[in-house]
Amino acid sequence: MSVWAILAAAGSGERLGADRPKAFVRLGELPLLAESLRRLDESEWIDAVVVAAPPGWEEPSVLLAEELGAGTVSAVVAGGATRAESVRLALADVPADAVVVLVHDAARPFVDEAVIERVLAPLSEGWDGVVPALPVSDTIKRVEGDRVVETLERDSLVAVQTPQAFLADVLRAAIAAGEGSDCASLVEAHGGRVRVVPGDPRLLKVTTPEDLELAASWL
Ligand code: C5P
């Protein structure tokens, strides 16, 4: 079974307030992108990686992969205006014989073997996609402006993370058919069966300078 990973790293990361795209903001000694790239490269489950780099940052991304000795990096493509577009562009570099595609956000540096194993396993049991998620601890309300219109039933809600795993054919068909930010929701909308498995609090998504500081303390 050939497993390809797409590393979505093309976001601008405006909320970090840095002078460069989020993937190239420092986490310790190296750009943020390095941590997830090294971890995917070292995973025994992943055969090859395609990176969706921030447009104009393809060459620094290739150099970073070389510096890390990340031999599984098969291509670095320029990402698009949205995450879904970046994934679509990267998917074009995944060969037709790939069986499984794992999609991961470079903004979540601490992807590990255990969660990769958890999202891959159900694909051989009839599921089309698998997402890691955490229970929500806060009460979630739907609002319109500053008015609460609904309080949602917390027990039926989860907060979804990446890496997310998909049967390659299902992901291709869903992406070709729809528009949306999240690959799993495209697969759901296309009639795919998506399973939830336990996520990991360490899969924190770096969004703000405080997140970056917390992530750096985990290195
Ligand atoms: O912006 P946000 O942090 O939600 O993005 C999640 C992930 O998607 C990040 O790793 C980011 O680099 C990636 N992304 C992308 N292309 C975009 C926007 C976001 O690859 N146009």
> What was the pLDDT predicted at 72?
98
Q: Indicate the length of the chain as a whole number.
A: 219
How far does the centroid of ligand 1 lie from the alpha carbon of residue 8, in Å? 6
Task: Tell which atom from ligand 1 comes closest to the C-alpha of 87.
Answer: 20
Read off the pLDDT of each residue in 15-19 and give the average, rounded to a whole number.
89
pLDDT at 167: 97
Helix (H, G, I), strand (E, B) or coil at 196: strand
Q: Is the CB of 28 under 6 A from ligand 1?
A: no
Cβ of 8 less than 6 Å from ligand 1: yes
pTM here is: 0.96
CA angle 154, 178, 134 (to 5 degrees): 25
Under the banding of pLDDT at 50, 70 and 90, the label for residue 181 is confident
pLDDT digits (tens, 9 = 90+) for 68-124: 999 999 999 999 999 999 999 999 999 999 999 999 999 999 999 999 999 999 999
> Residue 88: what pLDDT?
95
**b/e per residue, 177-192, with b = 16+ CB within 10 A?**
eeebebbbbbbbebeb
Cα(66)–Cα(26) distance, rounded to whole angstroms?
A: 18
Residue 206 near ligand 1, beta carbon < 6 Å: no
Expressed in angstroms and rounded, the spacing between residue 70 Cα and the centre of ligand 1 is 21
Task: State whether the beta carbon of 1 lies less than 6 angstroms from ligand 1.
Answer: no
Q: What confidence score (pLDDT) does residue 178 get?
A: 78
Distance between CA atoms of residues 75 and 77, nearest Å:
6
Give 127-151 pLDDT, tens digit per residue: 999 999 999 999 999 999 999 999 9
